[in-house]
Amino acid sequence: MNRYHGIAGIIILSLLITAFFNFPETNAAYTPDLSIVKVSPNNYEAFSTYPKYVPGYAVEIANYGSGASKNTTLDFYIKTFDNKYLKKTVKVPALNAGKGTRIRFSMSNQTDGSFKEGYVVVNSNKSFKEIKFTNNVRKFSLKDIMLSASNKTVTEVYQTAGTPSTWTGTTLNYTSPLSGKTGITRMYCKINFNNQRDLSVGSIIAPIPGYMHDNVTIKSFGGYQQNQGHPTSWNETSCTFTINTYYNQLEYAEITVTGQNLESKNVFKEPMQVTKQVWDPWKDSWVYSNMAGGLTRNIQEDYSSVITSNQTYTTTNAKTYTVHHSNVIELIVKGNTDTYYAAGWFITPKGTFNEVIGLYGNSEKPAILISNGQYGLSQKIRDIPQIGFKIKGSNISGFSDFKSLGFRSWTWKETY
């Protein structure tokens, strides 16, 4: 069936629907009244050979009238995600008053079967009178396949601070963090000069971003002399502590930086400089040279060891969820599809996050931002029992509107 015929079929169907709703009601005495009461997926083995997301359909029809109906037909129309319109016409047997039947069939296999929306009409030609025709036509489309009362599982992965610890080591070139740790609160670098004599120290320069100058302490020590304090000048890339002091012997220079998560702040990198100044009478000026090159750096890095834990909760509320822990770095939420066909699922993360990944079975795929903070995954599946999302970040606070769109049974109830 080509696209032209499919569109034409939809137009004709719209005209049929209009006709149904404008047809006058008939006297109920000994008059049939066919009604479509249910449309559902049909996954019987007879249709399993079709390589489709929705292998089969089932339509239940009841005669709520006071008289028997005649043989007629059922017209079934669907639109798929691959932009195809399909029609199926099947026979409906005569039904006595108060009786029903269930008709099962499969649509054409020249499509991926990715159901998007559909119509179903019984007795479309009005070959016999009925009490009313408004219940002969039904429209159905994608709906949430995770029932609001069904259980959803949420796993919170969170971090807590452990016992403060200190890492020590030596290097000739210090680029932090040397320990490889996270949560570093103090970095210390000591350069030993082993009592070098007769030195005039001009300054100590450390490549530490200038905005951290209040967190930096610099010290030089030798003999009975020492200089200690915060940087006397700084710029975007370095801090300088001016000394201009003569040492008859120089033991060491040290630089200390304190703060939070220093491993992420580009605190230490070479070259670390301790400048020697010598007066040159021929130039009538000071000549400076770096004395720290090639000397061993004694390093200490204080950190609070981070403990990563996880805990899983069960909830039926997918409308909104608030985490039970602070410092949640990963949130995994899953819902049950009952293996029904799904076309996509959505969620709105809350808090500080940087990545949202869609989950289905043992597979995963990056979700995309839809609008207003909502992320979604368009992935047509069936026979996969669970779908969900993995949200990654540094301080996730929860989510809202976890929902799905797929093919689950439609039921229309009537009272007589």
Q: Which of 9-23, 281-295, 369-383 has the lowest mean pLDDT?
A: 9-23
Confidence of residue 54 (pLDDT cuts 50, 70, 90): confident
* Cβ atoms of 345 and 376 closer than 8 Å: yes
pLDDT digits (tens, 9 = 90+) for 214-259: 999 999 998 788 899 999 999 999 999 999 898 989 999 999 999 9
Domain 152-159+307-407 has CATH 2.60.40: no
Q: Which amino acid is at 6?
A: G
Q: Which of 6-15, 104-113, 326-335 is the most confident on average? A: 326-335
Q: pLDDT tier at 415 (50, 70, 90 boundaries)?
A: low
Query: Is residue 288 very low, low, confident or very high in pLDDT (cuts 50, 70, 90)?
Result: confident
The CATH number corresponding to 3-141 among 3.90.1170.40, 1.10.3470.10, 2.60.40.10, 3.40.35.10 equals 2.60.40.10
Does residue 45 have a pLDDT over 80?
no
Q: How confident is the model at residue 7 (pLDDT cuts 50, 70, 90)?
A: very low
* pLDDT of res. 103: 96
Indicate if the pLDDT at residue 79 is higher than 60: yes
What local confidence, expressed as pLDDT, does residue 146 receive? 86
Residue 211: CB atoms within 10 A of its CB come to 11
> pLDDT at position 15, please?
52
pLDDT at residue 3 is higher than 50 = no
The DSSP code for 251 is: E
Task: State how far the Cα of 20 lies from the Cα of 14, in Å rounded to an integer.
Answer: 10
Q: Kindly tell me if the per-residue pLDDT of 68 is higher than 90.
A: yes
Least confident range from 10-19, 110-119, 329-338, 394-403: namely 10-19
Output the CA angle 5-8-14, nearest 5 degrees. 145
Domain locations in the chain? Answer: 3-141, 152-159+307-407, 173-295
Model confidence at 368: pLDDT above 80:
yes
Q: Which of 147-151, 179-183, 294-298, 320-324 has the lowest mean pLDDT?
A: 147-151
Per-residue pLDDT at 6 exceeds 80: no
Kindly report, residue by residue over 257-280, the tens digit of the pLDDT: 999 889 999 899 899 999 998 888
pLDDT (0 to 100) of residue 2? 45
| Cα–Cα distance for residue pair 221/254, rounded to 1 Å | 9
CA distances from 170 to 241, 271, 404 (A): 23, 15, 56
Give the per-residue pLDDT at 141.
94
Q: What is the mean pLDDT of the chain?
A: 89
The answer on pLDDT for 197 being more than 80 is yes
**Residue 162: is its pLDDT beyond 50?**
yes
Asked if the peptide bond before residue 271 counts as cis, ω within 30 degrees of 0, the response is: yes
Q: Which of 182, 135, 406 is nearest to 301 (CA)?
A: 182
The CA distance from 231 to 218, in Å, is 7
pLDDT at 11: 54
pLDDT of residue 277: 87
Q: 1 pLDDT exceeds 50?
A: no
Q: Please tell me if the domain spanning 3-141 has the same topology as the one spanning 152-159+307-407.
A: no
Query: How much is the pLDDT for 25?
Result: 54
Q: Using a cut of 0.85, tell me whether the model's pTM lies above it.
A: no
In CATH terms, 173-295 corresponds, of 2.130.10, 3.30.60, 2.60.120, 2.30.230, to 2.60.120
Contact (CB, 8 A) for 363 and 410: no
* Average pLDDT over every residue of 401-411: 93
